[in-house]
A and B are shown apart, each in its own frame.
Chain A
Amino acid sequence: MSPTPAAGSPVHPAPAAPRPLHATGPATAGLSKLRALESEAIHVMREVAAELERPALLFSGGKDSIVLLRLAEKAFRPGRFPFPLLHVDTGHNFDEVLEFRDRRAAELGERLIVAQVQDTIDQGRVADGYDPARPGSSRNQQQTQTLLDAIEEHGFDACFGGARRDEERARAKERIMSFRDDFGGWDPKNQRPELWNLYNGRLRQGENVRVFPISNWTELDVWQYIAEERLELPSIYFAHEREVVRRNGMLYAVSPFLQPQEGETVETLSVRYRTVGDLTITGAVESTATTLEQVVTEIAATRVTERGETRADDRVSEAAMEDRKAQGYF
């Protein structure tokens, strides 16, 4: 049942060789797109670190938050990060991603806080949305409560997240600094205007803010940045052989949390993941791309959005993301 990497295929990018300095062109000639976006994100992170009391960086082991970690290094090294890393673990994550999460945090020498959705359920604060007998069920809703609990327990007033405006149309309207009320809710009709690069980080009592430094990046920008920076990714982002079932037009990994239903056939296919969420809701794409360059080429040629292709949670309704954000979702 456990996934097996395709024999002989390198699932990790090669170890980083000494890299040439990126700014080989004259500064006065202007920055490339990626370097302009990078600079904007670094600026956002430093502003938040300077103006808010207790930020945290939401790190899931997914590609977008991996980029955030590199940006934090660029913003604050050789100092420590002025914030811990926080992961809301539903208990249904890919083992490869959890292993990567822990290792990356250790390599960086930064503190990682893991908030378990299971604990929230055990404390009776939410009912488990996941029911093995109900295909398609997940803990997607419950992680919101665990996140809000963690924010309260640790007194976080700002959480950096890797969300991008190109992901989904509700996100397209969200500010870089997105304020949330006591219940974590987002009110799209009442957002602070965001002018120039001047961010107003002042909070009302009970408010906290989600900060999205890579708001202006596209999926392809993220992949190209990973390639250019030679960032390591969890192995599931690269093609590997895995037991999957086809369900509602998506390929789901067979796991203890997702068993084949009657009439479903288990196939072993070469797949990779385009996004990383719970095993119960994240679909794989068929692929033989085993290197970053091959993945970037496939992404550049794709005809379907990443959320449309691989996230069951966004296919529920046209406004699925909007509804979840109003309730405090990331």
Chain B
Amino acid sequence: MSTPDPGPTAAATSTADGTAAAGGGTATAPAAEASSVLRADLLRVATAGSVDDGKSTLIGRLLYDSKQVLADQLEQVEAASVRRHGEGAVDLSLLTDGLRAEREQGITIDVAYRYFTTGDRSFILADTPGHVQYTRNMVTGASTADLVIVLVDARQGVIEQTRRHTFIASLLGVRHVTFAVNKMDLVDWDEDVFRAIETETTRISAQLGIPDIHVIPISALQGTNVVDRGSTPAWYPDDAAHPTLLGHLQTVEVSTDRNLTDLRFPVQWVVRPGEGAADVNGERWSPDELHDYRGYAGQVAGGVLRPGDEVQVLPSGVRSRIARIETLDGELPEAAAPQSVTVHLEDDVDVSRGDVLVGADEDAAALCRREIEADVCWMSDRPLRTGQRLLVKHTTVTTVAKVDAVLDRLDLHTLEREDAPDGLDLNAIGRVRIRLKRPLVADPYLRDRTTGAFILIDEGTNDTVGGGMIR
């Protein structure tokens, strides 16, 4: 159940123009001498489901059975289980209880993050609670997720909430959705029940265009098919085609999800040390070099940067070539998302924070947009209305924006789009047209999850009031 290690030969998949590598699909393989733990890669997972689906129990089970719960944490949970339920089995759902306010009220307030490592892979698990503020929490958790686990209660089958969770995952561009059909013990592991859910979730996912889905039967309470196999029935045999939930999480391939085609490098910070910085740098840079040093620091959002490549600086459209790519550890032959690097250009051109380096053959006019249409998830008590003035933060740019029109609103029960004469209320999702004071170098969200995303900020309160995905 471990990810195959491609070893140093992975270098061979890198191609001159970087495009073929996107389909190459090799897993991570840094320095060969690194220990196996250092070689581990990272999978960001969000869970969706309500308390009744057994989500907390599932997460507790994942942590507990993968031996990630330490003795003092377990003692706390055992003591709390006895206080709450009397003597008996440990209530694993208590492992994920965060704050006293939550424990007192038996609710979950906000997105919580859990960490565990098994074999070659580490997981960051965003645990998004299910009742009040659900949309806001799930959108937040899914915004950074590679994979979403949607919990389905086997007794209830696919319900409205299942459709909603799957829809939000697809809206947020999550390419891997795993349906964990929980409480299979309560339906006596009835194959027909599972197949019906499998058929329906597969149909919904196809409709929504989710490229990679898996449906896995489990019992979180009894620990069956979560981490350990337990006794699954003959229709779900112990073989590679029928993984446990964790087995699937450990092997799902996400390295091809990144956009390695369209070069996007939003400039975050201009490094201009000047001669005054000579005393902090030791031998590496001479005072002369520091005097002229001008590097553009940022995190690659898409594509591959290579020295010698011609680039355009947007929105100005000025052209230059990449002279070199620097890090504290030396120069790099190439850089791709999500690396943080410092880029030097061959020419002394004017580049500042908020500018984006893109490939030479890109259509600058099409990329720089003063008007965008986006799916917005609204997160404020005061509704979003046509004509409203807001701030948009997109990559490293913050600009003033005006809501031109709220085009529609999603009925989160039927998932139908409907007119939105009153704008968008708290936790509503709808299509919005926005005009911008400063042009944004933007892509459709489903093409690049970094250059296609923005947040909305209320100028009066400075609160983050929405998240948007550009069409």
Contacts and interface: CB of A to CB of B under 8 A. Distances in A.
Given A78-B281, A80-B277, A304-B71, A27 B334 contact: yes
Contacts of B124: 216
Contacts of B110: 173, 188-189, 191
Given A22-B31, A43-B299, A200 B10 contact: no
A31 B28 contact: yes
B122 A33 contact: yes
Interface in A31-62: 31-40, 42-43, 46-47, 49-51
A172 B112 contact: yes
Contacts of B273: 77-80
Contacts of A308: 70-73
Contacts of A204: 461-462
Looking at A35, A196, A204, the one whose CB has the most chain B CB atoms below 10 A away is: A196
Interface string A77-109: 111100000000000000000000000000011
A80 B276 contact: yes
Contacts of A14: none
Interface string A19-35: 11111111111111111
A232 to B, nearest CB: 15
A77 B457 contact: no
Contact of A300 (B29, B34, B37, B100): B37
Given A22-B329, A43-B340, A192 B281 contact: no
A8 interface: no
Interface stretch (B135-143, B202-210, B226-234, B399-407): B135-143
Contact of A46 (B13, B113, B269, B449): B269
A249 to B, nearest CB: 11
B455 A195 contact: yes
Contacts of A46: 268-269, 297-298, 340
Contacts of A109: 279-280
Given A46-B297, A79-B273, A195-B143, A33 B453 contact: no
Contacts of A26: 10-11, 13-14, 21, 334
A301 to B, nearest CB: 11
A32 B40 contact: yes
B99 A173 contact: yes
A305 to B, nearest CB: 5
Contact of B73 (A30, A203, A305): A305
Given A80-B273, A173-B110, A305-B70, A28 B13 contact: yes
A78 B271 contact: yes
Interface stretch (A122-130, A134-142, A162-170, A271-279): A162-170
Contact of A49 (B71, B114, B269): B269
A50 B30 CA distance: 31
Contacts of B393: 198, 200
Question: Contact size class for B?
Answer: 35 or more
Contacts of B396: 47, 50
A194 B304 CA distance: 27
A193 B281 contact: no
A262 B351 CA distance: 69
Nearest to B449: A196
Contacts of B137: 193
B457 A200 contact: yes
B99 A42 contact: no
A236 interface: no
Question: Contact size class for A?
Answer: 35 or more
Contacts of A35: 30, 339
Interface string B258-278: 101000000011011100110
Contacts of A313: none
Interface stretch (A68-76, A146-154, A239-247): A68-76
A74 B329 CA distance: 8
Interface string B320-350: 0000000111101011101110000000000
B272 A22 contact: no
A110 interface: yes
A2 interface: no
Looking at B18, B42, B284, the one whose CB has the most chain A CB atoms below 10 A away is: B42
Interface in A280-323: 300, 302-305, 308-309, 318-319, 322-323
Contacts of B109: 173, 188-189
A21 B34 CA distance: 12
B84 to A, nearest CB: 13
Question: Which 6 pairs across A and B sit closest by C-beta, in order of nearness?
Answer: A308-B72, A109-B280, A319-B100, A42-B340, A202-B462, A26-B14
Given A46-B297, A189-B101, A216-B113, 16 more contacts: A25-B10, A25-B29, A27-B304, A28-B13, A28-B24, A29-B13, A29-B14, A30-B258, A32-B30, A77-B281, A169-B98, A195-B144, A204-B462, A220-B37, A228-B38, A300-B37
Interface of B: 6, 8, 10-11, 13-14, 18, 21-22, 24, 26-32, 34, 37-42, 70-73, 76, 80, 97-101, 103, 109-115, 117, 122, 124, 136-137, 139-140, 143-144, 255, 258, 260, 268-269, 271-273, 276-277, 279-281, 284-285, 290, 293, 297-299, 304, 327-330, 332, 334-336, 338-340, 353, 379, 393-394, 396, 398, 449-450, 453-455, 457, 461-464, 467
26 contacts: A21-B332, A23-B327, A24-B30, A25-B11, A28-B21, A29-B21, A30-B28, A32-B39, A39-B339, A47-B268, A109-B279, A170-B99, A173-B99, A173-B111, A193-B467, A195-B139, A195-B140, A196-B449, A198-B393, A198-B453, A202-B462, A220-B117, A224-B37, A304-B72, A305-B70, A319-B99
